[in-house]
Amino acid sequence: MKHDSDAHAAFDDLLAELSPAVRTMFYDRLTALIDASISVERERCVALCRKRVELWRTTTAARSPIASAREETRARANEAAYLADLLASGEPGAERADV
């Protein structure tokens, strides 16, 4: 969109007017804010996955006499636990959906 490119150009012009030291300080502070936001969102997602683990482990299907229902709930609980652990690890590549 033209509007976005205009905003980017204006932002780039603004940054170009800053001294290298101020520009570095700006980028460092911006990076810290973004990292903090990512951390909060990651923790929220971990908590949600852990709630899903508990949900699947305590659902009535988990105690079903039908083996396939029990297996499905076990698999879903395991998947939610895996995702929670992966997100909590903060490992590089954890944000990739194809991993």
Question: According to the 3-state scheme, what is the secondary structure of 32-68?
Answer: HHHHHHHHHHHHHHHHHHHHHHHHHHHCHHHHCCCHH
Question: Domain of 41?
Answer: 2-89
Q: Is residue 94 part of a domain?
A: no
CB atoms within 10 A of CB 84: 19
pLDDT for 13 equals: 86
pLDDT for 77 equals: 97
b/e per residue 47-62 (b: at least 16 CB within 10 A): eebbebbeebeeeeeb
| Residue 14, token pair as written in the block | 């603004």
Q: Is the pLDDT of residue 24 over 80?
A: yes
The number of domains in the chain is 1
Q: Is residue 95 part of a domain?
A: no
Rounded CA separation 20/6 (Å) = 23
pLDDT digits (tens, 9 = 90+) for 30-50: 999 999 999 999 999 999 999
pTM: 0.70
pLDDT digits (tens, 9 = 90+) for 45-69: 999 999 999 999 999 999 999 999 9
pLDDT for 99 equals: 45
